[in-house]
Chain A
Amino acid sequence: NSKVIQTPRYLVKGQGQKAKMRCIPEKGHPVVFWYQQNKNNEFKFLINFQNQEVLQQIDMTEKRFSAECPSNSPCSLEIQSSEAGDSALYLCASSLWVDSDYTFGSGTRLLVI
């Protein structure tokens, strides 16, 4: 069983709707990553956090995507206005800061119709 918990497992939204997914990182892990894996199995980095602070995010994330990792609450990734091209598997991972491995959740599979 994964130590990183992602919910929901599946998410179906209409175009223009908001889509929100959550991630509970492994206990004690201050670093959280979000990745998008498309139908070609390509991984795209979206954003990462250390504790509640954003470390890096790509342009796509800055425009329609929002993410946060509040203290004592699950991390979340939200797409403000879903597009068909957002259909993908969204993976969350967590780790200690450096010199350590990272653990992935089972992912949220988003379908935008």
Chain B
Amino acid sequence: EQQVQQSPASLVLQEAENAELQCSFSIFTNQVQWFYQRPGGRLVSLLYNPSGTKQSGRLTSTTVIKERRSSLHISSSQITDSGTYLCAMRNSNNRIFFGDGTQLVVKP
């Protein structure tokens, strides 16, 4: 069973539009982290958000544990935001599960 479901699989935006990425989990977890994966493969941590709402610059994440979901909002998207966004959770056995990612393309 896929532990982490992400949507949409891909998203195309015009520059300056906002993006909303969704993540849902098969289990209750308070260990949620959002990553951006660069084309070369390196995973860059965007936000660690175990619960509630966290903000970093143009990024806002909201995690609702009882509903087993988390979202990532990107405001005023820029061309350089293009790439793969991954949602990950860690379970009580200390294993990390990733979603399949959202491929974001921001066009000028």
Contacts and interface: CB of A to CB of B under 8 A. Distances in A.
Interface of A: 2, 31, 33, 35, 37, 41-43, 45, 48, 50, 55-56, 89, 91, 93, 97, 99-107, 109
Interface of B: 30-31, 33, 35, 37, 40-43, 45, 48, 50, 84, 90, 93-98, 100-101
Contacts of A99: 30-31, 50
A33 B45 contact: no
A contact patch SS: strand
Given A89-B41, A102-B33, A109-B41, A48 B100 contact: no
B96 A56 contact: no
B41 A106 contact: yes
A56 B94 contact: yes
Contacts of A97: 94
Given A37-B41, A89-B41, A109-B41, A102 B96 contact: yes
A2 B42 contact: yes
26 contacts: A31-B94, A41-B37, A41-B84, A41-B101, A43-B96, A43-B98, A45-B95, A45-B96, A48-B94, A50-B94, A55-B93, A55-B94, A56-B95, A89-B41, A99-B30, A99-B50, A101-B33, A101-B48, A102-B33, A102-B45, A102-B90, A104-B43, A104-B45, A106-B40, A107-B42, A109-B41
For the complex of A and B, 9 pairs with smallest distance between CB atoms: A101-B48, A104-B43, A106-B42, A43-B98, A89-B41, A107-B41, A101-B33, A45-B95, A55-B94
Contact of A104 (B30, B42, B50): B42
B59 to A, nearest CB: 14
A56 B100 CA distance: 23
A97 B94 CA distance: 8
A91 B94 CA distance: 16
